[in-house]
Amino acid sequence: MFNNKEKKPYGLIASFKNITEACDAAEKVRDAGFKRWDFFAPLPIHNIHEIMGLKRSKVSVITLFGGITGFCTGMSIVYYMNAYDYPLIVGGKPFFSPIFPFPVFYELTILLASFGAFFGMFLTNLLPRHNHPVFNHEPFSKASDDGFFIAIECRDPLFDKSKTETLLRDLGGTEITLLDH
Amino acid sequence: MSAHTDESALADPALLAKVDPVTLPKPALVENEHTLHWVTERVCTIVEDSTPRWWWVCFILACAMASFTFVGLTYLVSTGVGTWGLANPINWGWAIVNFVFWIGIGHAGTLISAILCLLKQKWRTAINRAAEAMTIFAVMCAGLFPLFHVGRVWYAWWLFPLPNANGIWPNFRSPLEWDVFAVSTYFTVSCLFWYMGMIPDLACLRDRAKKTWRKYFYGVLAMGWRSSSRHWNNYEMAYILLAGLSTPLVLSVHTIVSFDFAVALVPGWHTTIFPPYFVAGAIFSGFAMVLTIMLPLRAIYRLHDIITQRHIDCMCKIILGTGSMVGYAYAMEFFIAWYGANPYESFTFVNRAFGQYAWAYWIMVTCNVISPQLFWFKCIRENTALVLVICMFVNVGMWFERFVIAVTSLANDFLPSSWGYYSPTIVDIFTFFGTFGFFSVLFLLFVRFLPLMPIAEIKAITPAGTPHPNPDTNHL
C-alpha cells in the first residue's frame, strides 16, 4: 500500500470529438515536442506517420530477414535431400541445379517472409498485451468504435500535470483523466 | 491567328483566377454519409444478435450435405481407391478436377485482398474479409482430394520433406511436390493475412462484448489490440507487405497447379499457355463464387450501403474480363493445335469438341465464354438475380473446364487400343457433393462468429473517417 505514493501514474488521456479535431490536436502535441505519447483511433489514418512524426516501421526489415531465411532453407533442403543425403537420379539430370526446385524455394521465401511480416507486427507493437492502463479508462471502450483519444505519458520529460492538462484542453480534449498504472 | 489568341487567353492569370477547376463527383464507397458508429453497429450486430432461424436451417442442411463427404471418404479409405471411377488410361478423374476447381475458387479472395490492395482499389474493403474466408475454406476443400488421392492417406506425410523409415526424400523435380509447397504455403499465408486483418475488428467485438465467454473469446483473439496509432503504423506496413507477398504467391499457386498438367507429355496438357490461362480461369471462377456468396448475404443483412451497385459492377466487369481471357485461351489452344502441326495435338482438340466428351466441352463453352458476355450490358449488371444466375453458370462452367482438360486428354491419348471412357462412381459424386456442405458449414460459422467485413478499413473510406475531407486532394 505504501508504495502507491511513489508510483507515478501512467499519464493523461483526453477524448476528441471527431477525426479532424483529433488529428489537428495530434499535430500540435507532436510540435510541442512530446515523445512518449499516443494517439488512439478506430481506423488506420492515411498519413499517420506524418501527423505523429513517427519513423518508418521496422516490420519490413524483419520481413526481409524472413524472406532470406526462406530462400536459403529452400535451396539447402533441396541440395541436402536430392544431391547429398540421397542422390536421386531422375532422367540423367544433374543432382542439383537452382532451376528445377525453383517453386520450392520461391514458396518458402514467401512463406517465411510472411511469417516475418506477421510476427514482425506483433514484435514491433509489443503485442499480445492484454493489460494496459488505457483499458481502465471507462470511455476508452469507444476507441475501437468511434472514439479518438490522445494519451501523454508521465515518463515524457516535457510532462507537467497542469501544463499538459491545459494543453490538451486547449486542443479541444474532453474527459481529461489521469490514468493509474 | 485564332490559336495565338487562345494561348494568350489561357496564360492570362486574371482570367485563370476566375475559372473554377472542374470537380468530378466520385461515387461514394459507403453510401448515405453514415457515421463511424453506424459502421460498427452494422457489422457487429451480425455477430451479436441472436442466431436467426435461416442460419440454423442452412447450418443443419450444410452439415447433412457435408456428411456425404464423410461417408464417401470413409468408404474410400476402408475399401480402397478402386471405389473411385479411375481406370486405365484415365487415372486422373474427379479428384483432380475437384482439387483444381476448389483451389481456383480460392484465388479471387487473394486477388481481392492482395492485388486490389496494391492497386489501391478501395472498393475491395467491403468484400475482402468474406472473400479471404472463402479462400481459406475453398483451399481446405481442395486439399481433401489430393490428400485422399494418394491412396494410403496415412502415408500422406511422405509428401513433406520429413525423415522417414525408408531413408528417402521427396523428389523435388516433380510438379506434384511443387504443388505440396505451393498449396500449403498458400493456405498458411492466407490464414495469416486473414487473421491479421481481423485483429482490430476482433478488438471492436471484445470492447462491445457483454457475456463473459465473448469477452474471453474475442479478447484472446484480439491480442490486446488497443487501436494505438503507433500500432496502426506497424500494422499497415505489415499489411501492405503481406499484400505484396500474396500477389506473387497467388499467381504462382495456379501456375504450379497448371504445371501438374503442362509438364506431362499428354497432348492437350503439354502447352505453354497453361499458367496464364489457369490463373485467369481461377480468378474468373473465384469472382463468380464471391458474388454467389455475397449477393444473398447482402440481401439478408441489408448491407446495400456498404456493398453498393458499384461493387457488383466492378466484380461483373472482372468476370467479363477474365471470362474473355479464358475464351481467348480456348481459341488459342485450337489455333496452336493446328499451327503446331502435331497430329496428336490436333486430334485431341477436335476430339474435345466433337468426340465422346463433346457434351462436356459445349457446356464449358456455353457457361464460360457466352454467359459472362452478358455483363457488357448495364441492365444485366444491375439485375441482382440475373447476376447470381450467371455466376452459377460460371461456377458450373469452370468445373467442366477442369473436367474437359483432365479427362478428355487422358481418355483418348496416343494409342487407340488403350482408349477408354471415364465415368464417376457414386463414391466420387458423394465426396464432391459433400464438399459444398463442408464449405458452407465453415462459412456459416464464420458469418456467425467473426466480423464479416473489415470494420476499421470500411471506416477509413467513409467521409467521417477522413481527417480533412477535401474534394481537391481526392483522398477517397
User: Which chain B residues touch A111 with a CB distance below 8 Å?
Assistant: 185, 188-189
Helices (H), B111-222: 116-118, 125-149, 175-208, 212-222
Does A98 sit behind a cis peptide bond, omega within 30 degrees of 0 on the bond before it? no
Lookup: cell for B84:
473411385
Instruction: Collect all residues of chain A within an 8 Å Cβ-Cβ radius of residue B230.
Output: 38-39, 52, 54, 125
Cα of B325 to nearest chain A Cα, Å: 25
**Residues B117, B124 contacting (CB under 8 angstroms):** yes
Interface size A-B, in CB pairs within 8 Å, comes to 204
Place of cell 509438364: B263
Q: Do B237 and A57 touch (CB under 8 A)?
A: yes
Is B232 in contact with A45 (CB distance < 8 Å)?
yes
CA distance A3 to A17: 36
Looking at the DSSP bridge assignments, the partners of residue A178 are A12
Which residue from A19, A85, A143 is facing B467, i.e. has the nearest CB? A19
Phi and psi at A129, nearest 5°, equal -140, 105
Contact by Cβ (8 Å): B97, B145: no
Query: Given pLDDT bands bounded at 50, 70 and 90, which one contains residue B78?
Result: very high
Q: Is residue A11 within 8 angstroms of chain B, CB to CB?
A: no
pLDDT tens profile B285-338: 999 999 999 999 999 999 988 998 999 999 999 999 999 999 999 999 999 999
Which residue ranges form the domains of chain B, and what is each CATH number?
34-465 (1.20.1630.10)
Cross-chain Cβ contact A107/B181 below 8 Å:
yes
Domain spans, chain A: 8-53+132-155+167-179, 59-125
Tell me which chain B residues have a C-beta less than 8 angstroms from the C-beta of A110.
185, 189, 245, 248-249, 252
- Residue A135: what residue type? F
The answer to whether B287 and B319 have CB atoms below 8 angstroms apart is yes
Amino acid B475: pLDDT: 41
pLDDT in tens, A54-82: 889 999 999 999 999 999 999 999 999 98
B234 chain-A contacts, CB cut-off 8 A: 57-59, 120-121, 124-125
| Alpha-carbon gap, residue B147 to B163, rounded angstroms | 19
Q: Is the per-residue pLDDT at A14 higher than 60?
A: yes
- Which residue shows C-alpha cell 512530446? A34
Q: Could you please report the per-residue DSSP string of B24-48?
A: PPPPPSSTT---HHHHHHHHHHHHH
Q: Measured between CA atoms, how close is B411 to chain A, in angstroms?
A: 26
Q: Which of residues 142-171 of A touch B (CB under 8 A)?
A: 142-146
Q: Which value does ipTM take for this structure? A: 0.92
pLDDT at A36 > cutoff 70: yes
Q: Are B194 and B133 in contact (CB under 8 A)?
A: yes
Say if the Cβ atoms of A42 and B181 lie within 8 Å.
no
Is residue A128 reached through a cis peptide bond, with omega within 30 degrees of 0 on the bond before it? yes
CA A165 to chain centre: 27
What is the predicted pLDDT for the residue at A17?
86
What secondary structure does DSSP assign to B383-413, as a single string? -HHHHHHHHHHHHHHHHHHHHIIIIIHHHT-
Cβ neighbors of B181 (< 8 A, separation 6 or more) are A103, A104, A107, A108
Q: Are residues A39 and B229, on separate chains, in Cβ contact within 8 Å?
A: yes
Give the minimum alpha-carbon distance from B361 to chain A in angstroms, rounded to a whole number. 32
- Cα B445-B449-B450 angle, rounded to 5 deg: 105
Mutate one of B159, B196, B232, B254 to test the A interface: name it (highest A CB count within 10 A).
Answer: B232
CA distance B365 to A26: 58
Q: CB–CB of A49 and B223 under 8 A?
A: no
**Contact yes or no for B223 and A78 at CB 8 A:** no
Residue B403's φ and ψ, nearest 5 degrees, are: -65, -45
| A29 close contact with B: CB closer than 8 A | no
Q: Which of B37, B259, B459 sits opposite A43 (nearest CB)?
A: B459
In the block, cell 468408404 appears at: B75
Residue B190: pLDDT over 90: yes
Task: List chain A residues with CB under 8 Å of B256.
Answer: 103
pLDDT for position B29? 81
Q: Are A74 and A82 in contact (CB under 8 A)?
A: no
Query: What proportion of chain A, given as a percentage, has pLDDT over 90?
Result: 43
Residue B160: DSSP 8-state: S
Give A37's strand partners.
Answer: A152
Q: In whole angstroms, give the CA distance from residue B5 to residue B15.
A: 13
Q: Can you name the residues that pair with A152 across neighbouring β-strands?
A: A12, A37
pLDDT tier at B384, thresholds 50, 70, 90: very high
Between A8 and B328, the more confident residue is B328
CA neighbor of B111 nearest in space, from B181, B182, B190: B190
Predicted confidence at residue B8, as pLDDT, reads 55
pLDDT of residue A4: 52
In which band, very low, low, confident or very high, does the pLDDT at B167 lie, cut at 50, 70 and 90? confident
Distance CA B455, CA B200 (A): 8
Q: How confident is the model at residue B119 (pLDDT cuts 50, 70, 90)?
A: confident
Query: Facing residues of A39 across strands?
Result: A150
Q: Does pLDDT of B381 surpass 90? A: yes
Q: What ranges in B309-383 are assigned the alpha helix state H?
A: 309-339, 343-354, 358-365, 378-381
Averaged pLDDT for residues B376-381 = 94
Contacts of B415 (CB under 8 A, 6+ apart): none
- Interface contact A66, partner B, CB < 8 A: no
* pLDDT at B378 exceeding the cut of 60: yes
**A164, A178 Cβ separation under 8 angstroms:** no
Query: Are B185 and A40 in contact (CB < 8 Å)?
Result: no
Alpha-carbon distances of B406 from A18, A149, B409, rounded to whole Å? 58, 59, 6
Q: How confident is the model at residue B472 (pLDDT cuts 50, 70, 90)?
A: very low
**Residue of chain B whose Cα is closest to the Cα of A111:** B185
Whether pLDDT at B129 is above 70: yes
Nearest Cα to Cα of residue A123 among A47, A49, A62? A62
Helix (H) or strand (E) holding A177: strand A174-179
Contact B268, B352 (CB under 8 A): yes
Contact A74, A109 (CB under 8 A): yes
pLDDT beyond 50 at B266 = yes
A90 touches chain B (CB under 8 A): yes
Cα separation of B196 and B201, whole Å? 10
Does residue B242 surpass a pLDDT of 60?
yes
The answer, yes or no, to whether residue A5 has pLDDT greater than 90, is: no
Chain A hits for B455, Cβ within 8 Å: 42
Q: Which residue from B343, B339, B341 is spatially nearest to B331, judged by alpha carbons? A: B339
CB-CB neighbors (< 8 A) of A100 in chain B: 172-173
Which has the closest alpha carbon to B139: B118, B113, B110, B177? B110
> Is residue B437 over pLDDT 90?
yes
Say whether pLDDT at B70 is over 90.
yes
Q: Does A114 touch chain B (CB under 8 A)?
A: yes
Single-letter code of the amino acid located at B338: W
Query: What's the gap in Å between the CA of A23 and the closest CA on chain B?
Result: 7
Q: How many CB atoms lie within 10 A of CB B27?
A: 11
Q: Per the CB < 8 Å rule, is B245 touching A125?
A: no
Nearest-by-Cβ selection for A110 from B37, B189, B228:
B189
Residues of chain A found within 8 Å of residue B203, distances taken between Cβ atoms: 144
Q: Compute the nearest-CA separation of A5 from chain B (Å).
A: 28
**Upper half-sphere CA count for residue B33 (Cβ side, 13 Å):** 1
Strands A148-153 and A11-16: antiparallel
Residue with cell 473489415: B454
Residues of chain A found within 8 Å of residue B232, distances taken between Cβ atoms: 41, 44-45, 48
